[in-house]
């Protein structure tokens, strides 16, 4: 009986610590997202002022996709705080899709810069081949993740109301 009380008390303390960590994590994610949006806005504004927006597009897009990933992770943390356990796998898959697409865009723009410089060296050729291999693998990864998200949505368990009605 005494052991059960101590175990229950310890479990309550651990639950409180878990919730506190989730709240701190949510706060840090929110601050990070706001800072990334501010940085992207500043980069965009400077690009517009100095007429270098075409050069800054990759950087701004990269920062905005990072913000999207942060928001998806924030959403997952919010769900974990609300439900007291982490069941939602879809936000992690969405973060994976966004991160993969982000990398595909970065590789594509880097390779276009590599091929338009006019210098085609053996080092450039090997970098190009490695980048194309990575690009192909990333595209396969995006397709697999999208397929997994589709399966999750199609075969998600149906929740019942308190009355026993199906939503």
Domain boundary among 65, 85, 105: 85
What pLDDT is attached to residue 159? 58
Shared domain for 78 and 13, answered yes or no, is yes
Shared domain for 97 and 25, answered yes or no, is no
The answer to whether residue 33 sits within a structural domain is yes
Is the pLDDT score of 119 beyond 80?
no
Is the pLDDT score of 163 beyond 60?
no
What pLDDT is attached to residue 165? 52
The answer to whether residue 151 sits within a structural domain is yes
Shared domain for 80 and 93, answered yes or no, is no
Shared domain for 23 and 59, answered yes or no, is yes
Is the pLDDT score of 105 beyond 90?
no
CA 26 – CA 81 distance, rounded (Å): 9
- Tell me what the pLDDT averaged over the chain comes to: 81
Average pLDDT over residues 143-152: 91
Shared domain for 22 and 77, answered yes or no, is yes
Domain boundary among 34, 66, 85: 85
Range of the domain at 141: 89-155
Number of structural domains in the chain: 2
CA 10 – CA 61 distance, rounded (Å): 46
Shared domain for 65 and 102, answered yes or no, is no
What are the φ/ψ torsions at residue 117 (nearest 5 degrees)?
-75, -20
The answer to whether residue 166 sits within a structural domain is no
């Amino acid at each position: 009986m005494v052991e059960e009380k101590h175990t229950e008390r310890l479990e309550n303390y651990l639950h409180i610590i878990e919730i506190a960590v989730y709240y701190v994590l949510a706060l840090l994610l929110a601050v990070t997202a706001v800072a990334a949006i501010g940085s992207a806005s500043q980069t965009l504004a400077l690009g517009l002022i100095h007429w270098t927006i075409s050069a800054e597009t990759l950087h701004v897009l990269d920062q905005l996709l990072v913000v999207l990933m942060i928001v998806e992770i924030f959403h997952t943390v919010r769900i974990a705080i609300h439900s007291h356990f982490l069941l939602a796998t879809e936000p992690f898959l969405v973060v994976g899709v966004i991160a993969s697409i982000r990398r595909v865009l970065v590789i594509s723009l880097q390779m276009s810069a590599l091929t338009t410089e006019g210098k085609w060296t053996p080092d450039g050729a090997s970098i190009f081949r490695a980048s194309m291999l990575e690009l192909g693998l990333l595209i396969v990864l995006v397709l697999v993740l999208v397929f997994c998200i589709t399966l999750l949505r199609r075969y998600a368990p149906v929740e019942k109301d308190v009355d026993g009605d199906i939503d």
